[in-house]
């Protein structure tokens, strides 16, 4: 009888094998990957974006009830609003694909086709596996196969003795959308900060031959060919490539700039250590039931410098994995626990000096008439985080335009007691965020973002 490996040994073995096979055509010590992020805003109104954000949170919350550490079951592609996309070139010769950049999932996966005559597929719409000489399915008995979700029906067919017995994965969303295919490895061609292209062999990814359902065909996924998982797991894009750059371990960063400007500035995703900048830091918290997500600890909230009377337990992550706060790239607005939200909303209503609309934009609780003022004076909100760090975004990160001369408070309440708070990508605009997995810390700075 063969006993299964403990999960910590399984992770170590996968990382060790990945270290042996994932390498760069040339040795890199001081450079990092710098990938442009394309922002796509597929919704016609803030109310529609709110609806899709709410659906995404429902999908994320569903993960809390799954106690396995091996199944990344929800992606930011699922009903997300205002996604950020990144180009990935994989295969030999390289094929260019547009992927959703998602901190809420681990798996990297792309739409695939095994066609020989592929004239029906426009360039960039799917990965043509037969057209790449470096495409290599992972064997079903490879330790890495146990780190992806799979169909039990397909997994029972695994034959250890057979050379051609691939690792079949099945990745299902809460609304019934599904991607399934072969967990594989490929060569990725990526540009470094030095402006040189490097080939990375052995990038583990899901080759999705079956992709179906509304989450993967709706407006939030329109134009993309898969998901670039940036979660905390070893099979995420950052987990696989973060250690290849610099001596400072597994980390990645991004800087999301204001996409409402014309022309919009370029936002960037950086993989690896990119500089020794002075930044504020706060610990990253681990939730044993949801190891993919990036949790932070909020201690208190201030409006115009006044600390609000919110009980610390409102923000706490309990022993059952409930509560807490995550940083998420796939959610637009920011969602807060109901008790905290009500106190914050009351404080804003008292402090705002502009006319409040008696009938706010649908889906929002506080909207003001700013008239012709392009830079209206609005109350300032800040968050005191663990480690005595302060996150103080400008009002433009939490008041959004919903109509001409109308701005609404872009905060929402989380009513489920088992739900968690989410700091969305709008609240993150203008800051550089560095996710340091080895040190379990999140660093951030508004000044550094403007220097990139």
Catalytic residues: 102, 328
Q: Which of 414, 418, 366, 433 is nearest to 63 (CA)?
A: 418
| Chain center to CA of 292 | 10
- Residue 64: CB partners within 8 Å, gap ≥ 6? 289, 290, 321, 322, 418
Q: Could you tell me how many residues make up the chain?
A: 452
8 A C-beta contact, residue 246 and residue 30: yes
Going by C-alpha positions, the residue among 258, 222, 304, 284 that lies closest to residue 443 is 284
Q: Do 369 and 355 meet the contact criterion of CB atoms below 8 Å apart?
A: yes
Task: Output the CA–CA distances (angstroms, integers) from residue 22 to 7, 188, 244, 254, in the order listed.
Answer: 22, 10, 9, 23
Q: Is 79 left (phi over 0), alpha (psi -120 to 50) or beta?
A: left
């Amino acid at each position: 009888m063969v006993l299964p490996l403990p999960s910590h040994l399984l992770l170590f073995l996968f990382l060790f094998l990945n270290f042996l096979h994932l390498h760069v055509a040339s040795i890199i010590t001081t450079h990092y990957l710098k990938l442009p992020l394309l922002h796509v805003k597929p919704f016609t109104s803030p109310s529609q974006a709110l609806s899709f954000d709410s659906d995404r949170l429902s999908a994320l919350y569903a993960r809390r009830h799954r106690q396995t550490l091996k199944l990344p079951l929800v992606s930011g592609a699922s009903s997300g609003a205002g996604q950020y996309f990144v180009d990935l070139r994989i295969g030999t010769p390289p094929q260019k694909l547009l992927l959703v950049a998602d901190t809420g999932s681990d798996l990297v996966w792309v739409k695939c086709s095994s066609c020989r005559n592929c004239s029906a597929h426009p360039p960039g719409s799917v990965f043509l596996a037969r057209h790449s000489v470096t495409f290599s399915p992972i064997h079903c008995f490879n330790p890495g196969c146990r780190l992806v979700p799979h169909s039990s029906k397909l997994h029972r067919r695994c034959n250890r003795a057979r050379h051609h017995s691939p690792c079949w994965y099945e990745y299902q969303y809460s609304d019934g959308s599904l991607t399934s295919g072969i967990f594989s490895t490929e060569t990725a061609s990526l540009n470094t900060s030095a402006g040189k292209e490097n080939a990375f062999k052995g990038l583990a990814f899901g080759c999705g031959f079956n992709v179906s359902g509304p989450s993967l065909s709706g407006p939030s996924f329109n134009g993309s060919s898969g998901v670039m998982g940036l979660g905390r797991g070893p099979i995420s894009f950052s987990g696989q490539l973060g250690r290849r750059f610099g001596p400072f371990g597994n980390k990645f960063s991004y800087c999301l700039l204001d996409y409402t400007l014309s022309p919009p500035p370029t936002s960037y995703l950086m993989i690896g250590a990119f500089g020794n900048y002075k930044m504020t830091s706060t610990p990253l918290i681990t939730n044993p039931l949801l190891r993919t997500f990036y949790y932070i600890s909020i201690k208190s909230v201030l409006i115009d410098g006044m600390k609000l009377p919110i009980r610390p337990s409102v923000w706490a992550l309990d022993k059952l994995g409930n509560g807490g706060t995550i940083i998420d790239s796939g959610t637009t607005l920011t969602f807060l626990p109901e008790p905290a939200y009500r106190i914050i909303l009351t404080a804003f209503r008292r402090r705002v000096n502009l006319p409040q609309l008696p009938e706010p934009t649908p889906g929002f609780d506080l909207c003001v008439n700013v008239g012709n003022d392009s830079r209206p004076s609005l109350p300032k909100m800040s968050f005191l985080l663990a480690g005595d760090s302060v996150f103080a975004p400008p009002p433009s990160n939490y008041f959004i335009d919903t109509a001409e001369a109308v701005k609404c408070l872009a905060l929402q309440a989380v009513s489920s007691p088992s739900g968690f708070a989410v700091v969305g990508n709008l609240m993150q605009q203008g800051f550089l965020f560095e996710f340091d997995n080895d040190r379990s810390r999140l660093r951030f700075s508004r000044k550094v973002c403007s220097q990139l």
